[in-house]
Every structure is written in structure tokens, then in C-alpha cells.
Structure 1
């Protein structure tokens, strides 16, 4: 008895379950802990590309800083980049826990990116124009209100992350009021800077409190949140590649190194070398052949691994943009400080990331050990 090869693919295709598509889908937790045991739902592969569009809306922050390097501009960059990072991180958190890919989730992502356009077009002028400051704060508060609304909706639709989602949504709701004094023109610039830093710290603490397994254990929760390490790694890797890619884009846009073998071409190549080396260092982490990821090791390595990406991305973004700027411009003292400081912060953060991994290679496996 013979079987035609041409019929095999059809038979295989008929035996495979067909993917269902939803207009509106009830949120389902993709991974969670049940009495300390990790449970994962069978889901299709989640892709990161849609969320890295967030970064393309934010790259002008570094451009503005590069054009007029100063301590005041650097402070503004920190205060506007960090909230934008939080917006991306929360969108990533939602996708990590509930990748519905339905019309509601897609519209929410589009709505948040539209708000980021408003945010990004006004954020660079918050120190100069009260209207720009109010527009920036209003856009950011709308972003957070959208995010916490989805966290609360997920807590109603699915019981697996119910308590922690509500705690986090409640803390973020309270944090919205911290930003309110920035609308008042009579409040001094120094006070507004302090308020902005307080709000940023509140958001960082809210994330740790809301999703920490320590808090979940203290409350005796039967169900608690879990992290898909592979998905989380993909998200941060994609974002880091986009950060480094901004500097390589800048050495091509407008042909700053035109004219053949010139000094400008050499500077552009060195900018590429810098981005390539940082990308290699990030991808190879601690250099071990076998290691334990910080998220898998313990909560004391997981949260530092998650949070350290913020200063690392900010530093690499600044350093990369200044490197590209130097291709066609003469660097002043302020540019050199930003260039060295940005890349230095990025390098230090990568060293910390490498230390958070647990090297599982036997002694003598590699030519040089992780710790010299």
C-alpha cells in the first residue's frame, strides 16, 4: 500500500488545530503561580515589534539634548524619558501577562502611542512653557489611566492575578494625584522637579510592591503573577537593539559622511563599532555557556535586572546620539561629557546585568572566568 506524498501536507494541515481569531476576547492569564507552582497556558508566540514602536516616538528627547548639551537639558531628559519608559514597560507587562491580540488591546496600544505623540512633542519644552508642561502631564496621566483601567479590567476577567493587579492599579491611581501640582504656574521650578522625582519613585515602588512575590507570600495569595522569562528577555533585547540602532540610523540619515574616505566617514564607522560592541556585550550577558537567568534565580536578582534597563537605555541613547552627532560636527565640552557619561553609564549597567546571572559552567570551561 502506498501513500501519495502530495496528500501528506493536506493530512497534516487537517490534523493541526486551526488558530482562532477574536474581535473581543476574554483576558486569560498566560502564566501564573498556583500555591507556588508555575502554570502556563498554551499560547501562540508573542512578538515584540509592535511595542518597540513606542521608542521611535521618544528618540527626539536625545536629539534635543544633543543640540544644546547642558546640565539643565540633561535633567529635563531624565524627567521626560523615565515616564515614557514606564509607559512602555507597562504596555509590555500587559502583553506579558495577557496577550489577547483582540480589538481592545490593539486600540489601547494605538491610543497610548497617540498620547505619546502629544507627550513627545511637548516634553522637551516643559521648562520653558507652562502650556507644554500641562500638555505633557495631561498626556502622561491619560496614559496611566488607560493602563490602570486595563489592569482593573483584567482583575475582573481573570482571578489568577486579581489581587496584585488591583493593588498595582490602586497605587498607580494614587500616583496620578502626585503630578497634579505641575499644572499650577505659581509652583516654583525647583518644587516641580522634586514633585516629578517623587512621582517617578512612587511608580517604581508601586511596580515592586504590586508584583513582588514577597508581598504575595506575605498576603498568602493562592494565585500570583509569574514572568515568562523568554518573552521578557525578547522584549528587553528588542528594545536595546532599537536603542543602539538609533545611533546607526543617525550616521546614515542625511548622509553626514558623504565625500569618500574622510574623517567624517571614520567617525561614522567608529560610531557603528561602538553600537556593535555594546550590542554584543548585551546579547552575550555574562559570557557563560550555561547560566541561570536573574529572574529565575531570586526576587533579589529579578527586580534589579528589570529596573537596571532604564538607566542603561537612557545612557546608551545619549551616548549613541552624541557619537552620531560628532560625525559631522565639532564636539564641545558638553558633548564630550554627555558622550563619555552616557556610554559609561551604559557600560556600568551592563556589568551589573552580567553580575546578576549565575554562572553554571564548571571550572576551566572557559579560557577566562567570569570573576578575575
Structure 2
């Protein structure tokens, strides 16, 4: 129960406002002074007393104006300015509090505004019914340099997690297929199979991030794209011979469906129709080349395939660049283009990074799951287990580099920084996925090699015994070492795309830490040249050891001079903010304002903590 309030009336008396009737009785019993009146909060007497008090203070205000007109006018101006500032602060801390919480992680932006998309009636907002179809609403968009974002936080939908589950199987199939017979040709077809599937995953994330619908039509559309992706995956193994047409057919069906969704969205949301129609054209151009590749035989087909892949990856960025104005074309044309794209959709940075992080986690998860095997020995501490555990340590270190080092301490996130940094961030992730997946696939085969000491082939379950081999091919070494080198290099590109916070007492600058990563990448690329002089266990040990040194250097370099690496040297202070209750002589409680520090000095104090909030002072 809150302490009572006191209001001064025009006749000089004070009005005590109680929270309820019980509180009112206690106040009346404890005060016998006739200069006090009592009433219940919210009653008609309370309202009348407030109006009386308002008139009384307005009279005092008029009297002060007549006695000191100059001072009064100056104070009035100051009060108006303070009220305006208070309103701005209230709008920022109440309406945009969820956005403010994310600014510290992804960088502040003075060009950010919020809007309320799809405002509904109160009874509709309380309903949990999923509509069959709702008119789509754009979540966030750019207009004349300002980013207008939806005021509510964009959560990851459950069906998006379902999409990720499907990709677990896709990564396993594509990676295992490439590592079965490692060669340059296998690597080529691994990239051809992986890049389009990544593009379909990106299309799903783009539609969910742009449009706010969450109806059955949208979910059915995503299910259709997943079905196409499922059919695409079932035709990967023999794409170089008999199943290429089927694979391309499933891929183009999903892409044309996305283009159709863009065209329909342009009709329903005219504000951003130019961008949506432009994206439909961007999908149609490389799709025509994909269709043409069906009628061309190998090896000439490869030229059309890689032109189509290049256009799939670059044309969306060219479209975004055009919407912001090409600097090398005449200003008249540039102004005309920008006028057409006065409004254009934007990505939600929190949703995009969260979805990309989930995809990267899938890649890490695949590399770990691929290491698992079954043991038949009585106690399976052997070379097979050692190599598998080293692979686990390596994946764990890469996870720490991506999320805890490169993914933290952003002054400006790559998407919010510049268009080139956003382009680099997106495509570096694709390069990372390709590199780490092929490296993980190669590692899964190296674990089963039995050319090292303490690796008896009979210790493996017969299924894995059939997959074991004695001689490690050079191509497999290149898959493993080259994949890791590409993955670490792409992670360096991701780090470069971000603008990290600069700490003046930092022990090692970011450029020096990235230079060491480049050195490690070069060494990894040279390791396959050692050939049989490094067996599988030694090769894995070298790469894992160097990965640990990268993490150690990052941890040391990002720390500050003078800071302890073992936590605080003294006990952490606390701040206590408490509401206390005082016990009357009869044992009943009565609310009052008490200083918590004075009450805490005496362990036998008559005050007790009622509600305690203890934040850590760090």
C-alpha cells in the first residue's frame, strides 16, 4: 500500500487522500488536528478538492505575475521548454524502448523513425485466431533518407524454425555427397547445389521480414517453397548427369512463386510497388539463363550456370544501389530513378541477424553431428575419439569467434553502416557456409581414417568400418584445410564489414588481430602440401591448435590494459532500493517513508523490508 498524499486547499487546510476506506479510517484515527480533511482516492470529494486546489494555486500564480511580471514571464518560457523536452523523453523511453534496447548492439541511427503498421481494433488485437488472409502491411521502409520501422518487435516465427530443421538435412546430404569422392569436380557440383538452396532460404527470410501478414495464405506459400526445396534436394546426387533438369525445375518453381508474390504485393501495397516489381524482374533475368542451361550439354553448361548464379547474387544489390541513386549516371536519370523508388522496403536488422545466426548455428551443428560414429571396443579411448573431440573443440572455437567476438561490441552493424558493408556481410556469410560445410565434411572422413596409431578398424561398428580407409587422399586434405581457411577468411570479412567500438585502452587493435587470422589462413592452405608427412591426427591437431591461438589472441587483444583477466579483485558493491514497513505497537503495519540505509544499520530495527530490488553495480 502506497503512502497517503496531502493536498493544500484554498482555506489553508490540508486534504489527506487515502487509498481505500480502511486506510482512511487509520488516517482519521491517527490525526485529530482540525486543520486536516480526509477523503478516499478517486471519490467525488477528491475530485472537488482537486478543482478547489487548482483554483487556489492559479490565484497565487496571478498574484505572483502582478508582483514580478518580468521574472514570471521568464519562468513561464523555461517551463514550456522543459515540458517539451519531457514529452520528447517520454516518447523515446515509452514508445521506442524496444528499439533503444537493440541500438546498443547494432549501432545508433539518427535516421530511424517508428510507425504502427496494421493498427487493429482492441478486440482484434486480443484474438488469437489465425486469419485465412489479411492484407499485407510493410514492416519497415525507407523514405527520403529516413527509416520507418514497425514499433513492435519482430519475433522469429515458429515456421521459420521449421525451415531451419529442413536445412539440417540439406547440409548433411550436400556435404556427405561432396566428401564421398573428394575432387575438384565434386567441389564444383557442391557449390552448384549449395548456392541455390541458400538463395531459397534467403527468399523466405526476405518475404517474412518485409511483409506483416502471418495468415494461412502466407504460411501455405512458405510451405510450397519448402516443398520445392525438398524436391530440389532429392535431385542433388546425380545433377551432373540425369537429375539436373529436375533440380533446376524445382528451384525455378520456387523462384517464380516468389516473383509472383512480389507482383501481387505490388498491387496490394502501391507505396512500394516499384521495388516489388523490380525484384520480380531481378528474379526473371537469371531464371531465363537457368532455363537455357537445360538445353546445353556439359561442359558448356557450366558457363550458363555460373552466369546465372552470379546474377542471382548480385542483381538484388544492383537494384538497391539504383534505388539510392547511381553516382556515375546523369543526375537527371538518377533523380528519375529515385523518384520511382521514393519508398522502398528495408530489412529488420534484428530479425536478419537472428536468422543468419541460426543458419550459421546449423552449419556448426552439422560439422559436429558429422563427427559422430559408433564404437565396438570395450573402452573406446582411441585415435578415432581423439580426432572427433578435436573436431568438436574446433567447431566450438569457430562458434565463439562468430558470436562472442565478431558478433559483439558493434558501433555500427554492417547492414546499418553502408551499402557496400551490407553487401559484403551477406555474401561473406555464403562464402563461410560453403567453406565450413566442405571443411566439416572433410573432417568427418578424416575421423574414420585408420592410418594413425591406436586406430584399430575393428573398434568401429561395421557400418563405419566400411567407410574407414587407410590412405588419406590429397583431395580430402584440401577439402578440410581449404574449407577451414575459406571459413576463417570469410569470418574476417564479416568482422571488417562491421564498425566495432574502439576502446582506447585495448591491448591489440582489430587490424592486427585480423592480420593474424590471415596468416593462419595462409598456413592452412599450405598444410595439404605436406602430404603423408602429416597423418590425419596430426593434421587435425595442427589446425585445432591454431584455431585455439586465434581465439586466445582475440580474448587477450579485446581486453583493456590494466584490467584483470580473472574477474573483479574486490567484492562487487550492491545498491538496495527498498520499500519498508513500520510495525505499530499493536503489531499492525503502517506505511511510511523510511531510509533503507539507516534501517539496515541496526539489525534489530523495527523496520522490515517489504519489497526489495537489488541491481548489481558493475
**TM, length-normalised to structure 1:** 0.89
Q: Tell me which residue corresponds to 1:344.
A: 485
**Number of residue pairs aligned between Structure 1 and Structure 2:** 355
Distance 1:264 1:348, change over 3 A: same
Counterparts in 2 of 1:178-217, with a 5 A limit?
178-184=289-295, 187-210=296-319, 212-217=320-325
Q: Is the 8 A contact 2:179 2:476 kept in 1?
A: yes
Which of 292, 302, 307 matches 2:427?
307
- The alignment partner of 1:122 has SS state of coil
Q: Could you tell which deviates more after superposition, 96-105 or 138-147?
A: 96-105
**Structure 2: where are the runs of 5+ without partners?**
1-18, 22-121, 326-333, 450-468, 513-618
Once the two structures are overlaid, the 10-residue window that deviates more, 79-88 or 321-330, is 321-330
> For residue 30 of structure 1, what is the aligned residue in structure 2?
139
1:238–1:193 Cα change, 3 Å:
same
Instruction: Determine the structure 1 residue equivalent to 2:474.
Output: 333
Quote the residue 1:141 is aligned against. Answer: 252
Deviation of the 1:128 alpha carbon: 2.3
Q: Within 5 Å, give how 1:1-372 maps onto structure 2.
A: 1=19, 18=126, 20=128, 21-43=130-152, 45-47=154-156, 48-59=160-171, 60-129=173-242, 132-184=243-295, 187-210=296-319, 212-217=320-325, 218=334, 219-220=337-338, 221-252=341-372, 254-255=373-374, 259-286=379-406, 289-329=409-449, 330=469, 331-364=472-505, 366-372=506-512
8 Å Cα contact 1:288-1:360 kept in structure 2: no
Distance 1:2 1:234, change over 3 A: farther
Identify the residue that residue 586 of structure 2 maps to in structure 1.
none
Q: What's the offset of the Cα at 1:56? A: 2.4
User: Post-superposition shift, 1:53?
Assistant: 3.0
> How far is 1:291 from its partner?
2.2
Match for residue 11 of structure 1? none
Structure 1 equivalent of residue 452 of structure 2 = none
Matching residue of 2:521: none
> Aligned-pair distance for 1:15?
11
Deviation at 1:44, TM superposition (A): 5.1
| CA deviation profile, 1:313-342 (whole Å, cap 9, x unmatched) | 011111112212222234322111100011
Q: Which has the higher strand share?
A: 2
Residue 249 to residue 288, structure 1, CA distance change in 2 (3 Å): closer
Q: How big is the shift at 1:54?
A: 4.3
Alpha-carbon contact 2:435-2:485 (below 8 Å) kept: yes
Structure-2 separation of matches of 1:169 and 1:339: 38
What is the CA-CA distance between 1:257 and the residue it aligns to? 8.8
In the aligned structure 2, how far is the partner of 1:163 from the partner of 1:301? Answer: 24
Output the CA distance in 1 between the equivalents of 2:269 and 2:209: 15
1:174 CA drift (Å): 2.7
Structure 2 Cα separation of the partners of residues 223 and 83 of structure 1: 29
**Where in structure 1 are there 5+ consecutive unaligned residues?**
4-13
Following the alignment from structure 1 to structure 2, what is the Cα–Cα distance between the partners of residues 307 and 99?
26
Provide the C-alpha distance between the structure 2 equivalents of 1:34 and 1:293, rounded to a whole number of angstroms: 20
Distance 1:45 1:237 in 2: 16
Tell which structure's C-alpha radius of gyration is larger.
Answer: 2
Q: Measured at CA, do residues 163 and 249 of structure 1 come closer, stay the same or move farther in structure 2, by a change above 3 Å?
A: same
Query: Bigger relative contact order, structure 1 or 2, given CA contacts below 8 A and separation 6+?
Result: 1
Which SS does the other structure have where 2:299 is aligned?
helix
* Pairwise CA distance, 1:157: 1.5
2: CA distance between counterparts of 1:360 and 1:207? 30
Task: State the distance in 1 between where 2:444 and 2:502 align.
Answer: 38
Contact 2:163 2:226 in 1 (8 A): no
SS in 1 for 2:234: helix
CA separation of 1:290 and 1:200: change in aligned 2, threshold 3 A: closer
Contact 1:271 1:323 in 2 (8 A): yes
